[in-house]
Structure 1
Amino acid sequence: MTADRAASDLTVAICAYTLDRWDDLSAAVASVRAQHRPPAELLLVVDHNPALLERARRELPGVRVLPSEQRRGLSGARNTALSAARGELIAFLDDDAVADRGWTAHLLAGYRDPRVFGVGGLVRPWWLEGRPDWFPSEFDWVVGCSYHGLPDRGSEVRNFIGANMSFRRAPALAAGGFRTDLGRVGTRPLGCEETELCIRLAVRNPGAVLRYEPSAGVRHRVPGHRGTVRYFTARCYAEGRSKAAVVRYGGAARGLSSERGYLRRTVPVALLHSLRRGALGRAAALCGGVALTVAGFVAGLASRGTPPNGPTGPATAAGQPIGDPS
């Protein structure tokens, strides 16, 4: 697949749910339009917000604007995009992220290898009120960004960060899309729907490669309230609960494969470095973040019957649930 052919096969999808982030959404759209290799289609899916839908259709010419056809929440909106997109490849950009001008070109380059089923990129935090001194970069996943410990060069990975990821659309649809019982609904800080889909894709397609390409970068806005201890603790606990659901669906071997290395290497090295520098607040955040995530994970395993957001599983293109992906 040539780069020009790949660009003609690419849909970029942005999902949005609130008018409060209109300026952020407009910036995200503008960054896609400014790409060195613009996509064939720019798709905006509005998650059950008629006022936002109407404004987007009125003020974003050249953008294909659709309402979410599935259950309220980010996963349902992404599934609507998967089903409706015209491209063979689909890239997802958060509505509060801005893509570098070479973003699509670097994502598309990965698909020259037919084994590659998905390509994800770097998500740099854009701290609107500055990074708190105590907030460790190893925990930037708390604010939806790439964290210290990820590869610094193109590498095969288990899963992507949702703000900056792409897939071959047909295999993602065949796998059932994103589980609607995982993922964010409004401001509720749950997640891991991207991780679960990536694991399911790998299980269904032995030999498939998911590639992380740091050169495909975006900036993700981090408002001040996400740099608070309250948000940090809530997000760590919610991540643990979400990881428990991933383990229930995909098994511990795959569901915790990246986390084992993170706990064995990344966190201990960061903790030692913080203690040597006398950064006691950062050291406390590292320890507390791990403890809260583990507590959430244990609590999630204890509530075995019902996933975090309810009973609905992966959806087909028609929006109907399919069976257990494992």
Structure 2
Amino acid sequence: MTANPLTEPVLAGRPPTLTVVICSYTMARWPELVSAVRSVQRQQRPAEELLLVVDHCPELAVRAAGVLAGVRVVPNHESPGLSGARNTGTALAHGDVVAFLDDDATADPDWTERLLAGYRDERVLGVGGLVRPHWESGRPAWFPPEFDWVVGCSYLGMPEQDGCVRNFIGANMSFRRAELLAAGGFRPDLGRVGSRPLGCEETELCIRLTARHPGAMLRYEPTAGVSHRVPEGRTNWSYFRARCYAEGLSKAAVTRHAGRRPALASERRYLYSVVPRGMARAMRRGGGGPRELAALALGVAVTVTGYTTGRLRRALPSAVPPLPAVPAGGGPGGPGGAP
């Protein structure tokens, strides 16, 4: 592994500095954005810098700059979309480590401290944490926990202890800034743009980062937790189907960039181990068990259909339909690196 420019200062006793980046693109999420900012500002270990990257929404930029004290508000200087906004935040950040928090998520009080602890090991290029769903209208009885990635959250089947992982979920992840820049950042042809539901830009980036440095690792720290808002509009069958299909399309795009083996390594375990255990559990349940079983089967079938379609047609982003509309304050959450 080549020398990491951040390693020597850390080993010399200086802890890494931290920039937290929040990206937002709509006024509809203003209350959630304020909560996200406040959660970062109340950390037990304060971040040295908090950046809000506004993705081509001048009204939001003006309001945030006038209201959110202690926040550096900047416009997305790259192409529209989450990848461009994250790349803008990375380029403008001053911290050794850049952490990303979704604009509809809130961080636990010890979030920054838990993330930064993982960088004591020089082999660690990034640290990600747990994303808990906050169901505003309650969790639907039919919604299988193995598919919580549909709403951008950690799912049943992920590691329960800290350790190495292939990729992170986008709502809660951090990287050494120097390595992120050296790798070229997030691919602008992957990821969400407004209501376009494609994702997996985090998965592709994580694969690319570790491929550059044999022996490097990405560390999952479940005690570094955030809560991710799940509005009622994301709890219906139409949203569930649309997200699964979009995930399949996105995974097909990742295989073209990263190759099938690394792009689908975690998915094979998920399909052959996690889903069957979920089906067995659902069959033992009463009440919503049959509907949960149906959701598991439907989710797999639709995701595989999306993947097959993407592989056969190389679906263009412009050909992908937007997600079903959600109430104000919502919008497509995206699963980040899941499953």
- The TM-score normalised by the length of structure 2 is 0.89
Alpha-carbon distance, 1:212 to partner = 0.5
Q: Which one of 66, 69, 84 corresponds to residue 77 of structure 2?
A: 69
Q: Deviations over 1:172-204 (max 9, x none)?
A: 111110011111111222110000000000111
Q: Deviations over 1:22-72 (max 9, x none)?
A: 110000000000000010000000000000000011001110110000111
- 1:1-326 matches, within 5 Å, as 1=10, 5-6=14-15, 9-278=17-286, 279-304=289-314, 307-308=316-317
Q: Deviations over 1:94-148 (max 9, x none)?
A: 0000000000000000000000000000000000000100000000000000000
Q: In the aligned structure 2, how far is the partner of 1:242 from the partner of 1:213?
A: 25
Which amino acid letter does the alignment assign opposite residue 75 of structure 1? S
Q: Is the 8 A contact 2:196 2:317 kept in 1?
A: no
Q: In the aligned structure 1, how far is the partner of 2:78 from the partner of 2:272?
A: 39
Q: 1:309/1:107 Cα in 2 relative to 1: closer, same or farther (>3 Å)?
A: farther
Q: In the aligned structure 1, how far is the partner of 2:225 from the partner of 2:34?
A: 18
Q: 1:242/1:263 Cα in 2 relative to 1: closer, same or farther (>3 Å)?
A: same
SS in 2 for 1:216: strand
Give 4+ residue runs of structure 1 displaced > 2 Å after superposition. 4-7, 306-310
Which amino acid letter does the alignment assign opposite residue 12 of structure 1? V
Alpha-carbon distance, 1:6 to partner = 3.2
Alpha-carbon distance, 1:5 to partner = 4.1
Q: Mind listing any 5+ residue stretches in structure 1 that lack a counterpart?
A: 311-326
Which amino acid letter does the alignment assign opposite residue 261 of structure 2? A
Q: Mind listing any 5+ residue stretches in structure 2 that lack a counterpart?
A: 1-9, 320-339
Q: Aligned residues, how many?
A: 308
Q: In the aligned structure 2, how far is the partner of 1:199 from the partner of 1:31?
A: 30
The two structures, once aligned, show a CA RMSD in angstroms of 1.4
2:5 maps to none
2:7 maps to none
1:317 maps to none
Q: In the aligned structure 2, how far is the partner of 1:307 from the partner of 1:124?
A: 32
SS in 2 for 1:182: coil
Q: In the aligned structure 1, how far is the partner of 2:282 from the partner of 2:163?
A: 28
- The TM-score normalised by the length of structure 1 is 0.92
User: Which sits farther off after the overlay, 167-176 or 231-240?
Assistant: 167-176
Q: Percent identity?
A: 62
Alpha-carbon distance, 1:307 to partner = 5.0
Q: Is the 8 A contact 2:191 2:199 kept in 1?
A: yes
Q: Is the 8 A contact 2:18 2:95 kept in 1?
A: yes
